[in-house]
Amino acid sequence: MNNLFDQLALLAKNEDQKEILQAELQRYKTTYLKKKLELLYKMSRLASTMIVGPANFPKPQQEKRHNSFERKRKEFWDWIKKAQNSIKRKINKATSKEEIEEKNKQQLLNDLQQATINEPRYIKTNAKSRIFSRVETLVYNGNTDKIKAILETIKKFQETNCVIFTDKHKIWKSLERAKKYNNREGNQGTETLFKFSFGKVINNHDLERTQIIFNDKPPSDVRDSLKSNGWRWSPKNKAWQRKITLNAKHNAKFIISQYYEIVHSETK
């Protein structure tokens, strides 16, 4: 618990976050102890021939208890991971708008600085790619204010440092493209991105979610792939979904193409 507190305390900057941390850790502790006791009870029922001897050893019974213990242990560690991630999300949600903007600004400056490094080359390339990807997401969301601020920061940085994005680079047309996205007709209702052999992928602009809708429940390997890429099942909407971004569209196409045939794309 102390190690977990020290780890999460680094995320809790303001008073609201600290209050959330204390409340969530108390709830976590209560549930942790309950689940730990259940696991220990399962463990206490296990026996070994090294201790009780091989004569009349109840092998079927012990195999059943061992399997039950292993399931409980897996559930326990899965719960720990989910519970800790849940606490982190709640703390991050309580971050003030000013803190988020300051963090994003600092990240941009760090990436700009790394984009000036010549060796090793991959550091420069990755930093430049992160900056452009961040702007592209804002373009797709039509967020002209943030794009304008980022472009101004890049211009000021390049005035006193080396050129990272040349005048012909696509990033300088981001503001113009964002205005088109901001005025597009499809920002209400639903917009089909593409169809595949067992469903379709849409942008639900009313919910601000990209949704993957299957005709039937997908296999476990498909579900695991979706979960690991940030997609969450919505029983209410009967769809796998995540926030609308350019990355969400590309990621949906990447995952679906691994398991299904894309039969029709309706968006240009």
196-240 tens-digit pLDDT: 999 999 999 888 899 999 999 999 999 999 999 999 999 999 999
Please tell me whether residues 221 and 161 are part of one structural domain: no
Local confidence band at 183 (pLDDT 50, 70, 90 cut-offs)? low
| The model's pTM | 0.51
CA angle 11/84/5 to nearest 5° reads 50
User: Hey, what are 212's tokens?
Assistant: 């993957």
Between the two ends of the chain, the Cα-to-Cα distance in Å is 51
Which of 182, 209, 227 marks a domain boundary? 182
Please tell me whether residues 6 and 88 are part of one structural domain: yes
Please tell me whether residues 157 and 204 are part of one structural domain: no
Strand 232-234 and strand 199-204: the pairing is unpaired
Please tell me whether residues 145 and 75 are part of one structural domain: no
Q: How many domains does the chain have?
A: 3
Is residue 113 classed as helix, strand or coil in its secondary structure?
helix
Range of the domain at 144: 97-182
DSSP 138-196: HHHTT-HHHHHHHHHHHHHHHHHS--SS-TTSGGGGHHHHHHHHHT-GGGSSEEEEEEE
The answer to whether residue 227 is domain-embedded is yes
Please tell me whether residues 133 and 177 are part of one structural domain: yes
CB atoms within 10 A of CB 196: 21
Non-local (6+) Cβ contacts of 51 within 8 A are none
**CA 260/CA 197 separation, integer angstroms:** 6
**CA 138/CA 208 separation, integer angstroms:** 14
The answer to whether residue 198 is domain-embedded is yes
The answer to whether residue 51 is domain-embedded is no
pLDDT at 12: 85
Stretch 184-196: mean pLDDT, rounded? 77
Are 50 and 77 contacting, i.e. CB atoms less than 8 angstroms apart? no
pLDDT at 147: 93
Local confidence band at 111 (pLDDT 50, 70, 90 cut-offs)? very high
Are 135 and 148 contacting, i.e. CB atoms less than 8 angstroms apart? no
Stretch 13-26: mean pLDDT, rounded? 88
| Residue spans of alpha helices (H) in the chain | 2-9, 15-44, 49-52, 59-93, 97-114, 121-140, 144-160, 174-182, 220-228, 246-259
Please tell me whether residues 101 and 89 are part of one structural domain: no
User: Measured between alpha carbons, how far is residue 211 from residues 141, 155, 222 in Å?
Assistant: 16, 37, 15
User: Measured between alpha carbons, how far is residue 209 from residues 200, 239, 243, 252, 259 in Å?
Assistant: 14, 10, 4, 12, 22
Statement: residue 184 has pLDDT above 60: no
Please tell me whether residues 243 and 192 are part of one structural domain: yes
Residue 239, classified by CB atoms within 10 Å of its CB into exposed (0-12), middle (13-18) or buried (19+), is buried
Please tell me whether residues 169 and 131 are part of one structural domain: yes
